[in-house]
Amino acid sequence: MMNLLQKNQLIFKNKKYQINAAFPLVLEYFKYIGDDEHLTIPERLNMALFSFVKESTSELSAEDKMELLEKIYSSFIFTKKDKEDAELINSKKKSFDYEQDMDLIYSSFLQQYGIDLSDKRIFTNLTWSKFNSLLQGLTDDTSFRKVTSYRTVKITDDMSSETQNYLKQMKLIYSLDRKDNDGDGKLTKVDLDMILAPLDMVHKVKKIKELRDQGRIK
């Protein structure tokens, strides 16, 4: 098996820093870094450095802290290669969300690689870059790839009505919880009926509660 654990170092202002860019830390970073409603910029900056940097950064000025975080981001989170990849796919519709699809990602990693992402050693040390490399390498028979395929597949006239209806159901069931350009994310009664149609009563109740919690139905 490939070496999943990796020690990262960064030289900044003539000092060596040990960087932990484990994937759960990066996911948390994405959540709070844009939270300008509850957290100030200094608070978010200190949270990020506390998460990513083993050594204390208290002696650094605010400007140096910002520069250090930018170096961490460009070196370990969104690298030059990531930028190039993003430019190639920026016109494509978003097919997954790290937070919403994490259960699918967990099960798919276990299915294909035998990697248990809930294992503490893996969970805290698998780097963001290696995590994404493994994610991109998932094959079409994993649950993650099947769901992303449902989201992106085009429904065409040459498909049978049965196939069209099935794909419409899958698109609704696995749609991402966000507002699209052509709607507010709310489901119509027809949409809701299509989602609930293949489910038994117990799962219908669970799905209705889930959709209400997501704000997609009243």
pLDDT tens by residue, 151-210: 999 999 999 999 999 998 888 888 886 444 345 567 777 677 767 766 667 777 777 888
- What digits encode the pLDDT tens for the residues 32-60? 887 878 889 899 999 999 999 999 999 99
Spatial separation of the C-alpha atoms in residues 51 and 37, rounded to whole Å: 21
Domain ranges of the chain: 9-85, 91-144, 152-214
Helix, strand, coil shares, percent, the chain, to 5: 55, 5, 40
Q: Whole-prediction pTM value?
A: 0.69
Choice between 113 and 216, residue whose per-residue pLDDT is larger: 113
d(CA 215, CA 218): 7
DSSP-assigned letters across all residues of 88-140? HHTTSPP---TTTTHHHHHHHHHHHH---TTSHHHHHHBBHHHHHHHHHT--T
Indicate the DSSP class of residue 51. Answer: H
